[in-house]
Amino acid sequence: MDLIGISQNTVKIILILGLPSLLVSMIIGLLISIFQAVTQVSDASLSFVPKMVFVSIFILISLPWIGDNIEVYAKDLWDIILIFGK
Mean pLDDT of 27-48: 87
Report how far Cα 36 is from the mean position of its chain's Cα atoms: 26
Query: Tell me: the pLDDT tens digits for 42-83?
Result: 877 788 888 999 999 999 999 999 999 999 999 999 998 888
What are the residues whose beta carbons fall under 8 Å from the beta carbon of 9, sequence distance 6 or more?
1, 73, 76
Closest CA to 13 of 73, 61, 55: 73
Which pLDDT score, from 0 to 100, does residue 43 have? 79
The DSSP 8-state label assigned to residue 41 in this structure reads -
Interatomic CA distance for residues 69 and 44, integer angstroms: 35
CA 47 to chain centre: 19
